[in-house]
Structure 1
């Protein structure tokens, strides 16, 4: 069988020998689509450079962030923190946004093409098949504030269950008994854990939710969901909204129809996005330790790349209830 050379790769890819050489040097100038095509063909042919570098060993010094909901201000803050941390370390961050309604699996093909050192998946869910494929390619994948029923999936998350408990404890200590809640996306671990902690704590005190609605972690959905609850004959005296965006929507609706927050209606959110602290809202909320979560993600990536970490690692970080004026 004839030896595969750089010329073989160049001819198959329709590029120059110099382009093949640059494709295996991540910091060299070369259009990313051309680099991806060359590396893909090199992998198919089993080509190795004279120094012994193969396609699977090309490292770009790049971390990919795959994000499914950049409309939530929490994730742009995460993006900024990740970018600053990686810049300090001489590495790069590439953002891959998942279009609304699209599968993260399609975006992960772009990540593979970039030859990222690792992928961080935030506000999105991967299929088990894709997770297995990433492991075959030695591509570490870390879920950010999500967990999945895959024993080999890595994740860094806040203690969403405890956060839900804290909200129920605070509202009941305030004397609230007609407590409603606005749920996020039903198929996400963030919703499941926050709701479970909240409902378990209510039940422990002999209470059930006074009312509930689905806000899908969205301002507009939450606004439409809250309005009929606050126009009903029997009104809740408190609402737990599973993220801050929905809580801000609830506050806006309450004010629009003449309810006072917190005198008539106490509201608590989750995340502690920057808007939560603005004077117009002063939202009581559960704070995710975002900076610590980012640091843990990067540490976990480095451990896995160095062969010191194992798949299936889940790190759960504590949360804090931030008391402001809305409850």
Structure 2
């Protein structure tokens, strides 16, 4: 069978050979339309980049981690736990970082080229085309702390819905009545499930959210979004922030305005990152069982590599509310 070259891909996709090269480089100036066309043709023809063919010879025993928001301390903590557990099993972890504004499909194509034994994805949503290509290449993929509407995707996640319910029940039990919340990225399962659980409990108790703002899981964006809520004529007496980074931003905003936490304003987060326990914050938050989630993820990978059928398996692990000083 003739070797598929970059020239053949370029001719089939109707682009230059330089465009083929740039399509496989994160952050390159190639348009999204051209990149998508090149990747689709490359997958159809079975084209492998030279770097992919070289790496494929040395990638045995490795697990690829595809991650986006490494500025959130939750994910470096996951990375550290994964690395330690894989080392104990005689495997290596390779990080594939999605650049800001970059496409997960491009990174996943690199993972396929790398020929790792399996991939763990902690951010964004894979296209159905890439998911199918991973299956065609016999590359096990496990989504970590997220799910997506594909019945064949395998995932390990915490009980985001149950955690959202816990927060609402906790605030209502403490007499909070003007309750607001700060949302994450709207197209993510973590946001959708945490918000759904939280709002369901409020609705069941006849409570309408006092206010809402989008913090996009970012400290800077959350700080900008929260300040107008707290500076309003009738500010909330409680805020649920859908991750800890945004909750820390809310605490800092409250301090700048002279608002006492928790006396005037209760603030609850989600994740239980290491900074949540710092003396400066002592954040009340929902803890994700990271160690157990990592263990379940690696178990699913090992089962898949041994030939077990795990496609479509979703494991949802319980969370716990950690009471500190902010609630």
TM-score range, shorter chain: 0.7 to 0.9
CA contact (8 A) 1:182 1:222 kept: yes
Q: Deviations over 1:111-163 (max 9, x none)?
A: 11221000000022111111011000000010000000000000000000000
Give the count of matched residue pairs: 283
Corresponding residue of 1:293: 293
Q: Distance in 1 between matches of 2:201 and 2:122?
A: 28
Corresponding residue of 1:123: 123
CA contact (8 A) 1:300 1:309 kept: no
TM-score by length of 2: 0.84
CA contact (8 A) 2:55 2:114 kept: no
Give the secondary structure class of the aligned counterpart of 2:224: helix
Superposed, 1:35-74 pairs within 5 Å as 36-37=52-53, 60-74=60-74
Q: Distance in 2 between matches of 1:315 and 1:71?
A: 26
Q: Distance in 2 between matches of 1:232 and 1:125?
A: 36
Q: Deviations over 1:80-136 (max 9, x none)?
A: 000001111111000000011111010112211221000000022111111011000
The alignment yields a C-alpha RMSD, in angstroms, of: 1.8
Corresponding residue of 1:221: 221
Specify whether residues 38 and 219 from structure 1 end up closer, same or farther in structure 2 by C-alpha distance, changes over 3 A only.
Answer: closer
Corresponding residue of 1:267: 267
Corresponding residue of 2:183: 183
Q: Distance in 2 between matches of 1:103 and 1:35?
A: 19
Superposed, 1:119-158 pairs within 5 Å as 119-158=119-158
Q: Considering only CA atoms, is the larger Rg found in Structure 1 or Structure 2? A: 1
Stretch of structure 1 that moved more, 108-117 or 87-96: 108-117
Give the secondary structure class of the aligned counterpart of 2:269: strand
CA contact (8 A) 1:146 1:156 kept: yes
Corresponding residue of 2:169: 169
Specify whether residues 281 and 155 from structure 1 end up closer, same or farther in structure 2 by C-alpha distance, changes over 3 A only.
Answer: same
Corresponding residue of 1:324: 324
Corresponding residue of 1:280: 280
Q: Distance in 2 between matches of 1:248 and 1:39?
A: 41
Give the secondary structure class of the aligned counterpart of 1:235: coil
Q: Distance in 2 between matches of 1:109 and 1:183?
A: 31
Give the secondary structure class of the aligned counterpart of 2:138: coil
Q: Distance in 2 between matches of 1:129 and 1:211?
A: 39
Q: Distance in 1 between matches of 2:55 and 2:240?
A: 50
Q: Distance in 2 between matches of 1:81 and 1:38?
A: 28
Give the secondary structure class of the aligned counterpart of 1:110: helix
TM-score by length of 1: 0.84
Q: Distance in 2 between matches of 1:189 and 1:325?
A: 28
Give the secondary structure class of the aligned counterpart of 2:110: helix
CA contact (8 A) 2:286 2:320 kept: yes
Q: Distance in 2 between matches of 1:194 and 1:207?
A: 17
Superposed, 1:62-141 pairs within 5 Å as 62-141=62-141
Q: Distance in 1 between matches of 2:54 and 2:243?
A: 44
- Cα drift, residue 310 of structure 1: 2.4
- Cα drift, residue 309 of structure 1: 2.9
- Cα drift, residue 36 of structure 1: 2.6
CA contact (8 A) 1:66 1:121 kept: yes
Give the secondary structure class of the aligned counterpart of 2:177: coil
Give the secondary structure class of the aligned counterpart of 1:212: strand
Give the unaligned 5+ runs of structure 1: 10-32, 41-54
Give the unaligned 5+ runs of structure 2: 5-48
Give the secondary structure class of the aligned counterpart of 1:304: helix
Corresponding residue of 1:47: none
Specify whether residues 210 and 39 from structure 1 end up closer, same or farther in structure 2 by C-alpha distance, changes over 3 A only.
Answer: closer
Q: Distance in 1 between matches of 2:190 and 2:273?
A: 16
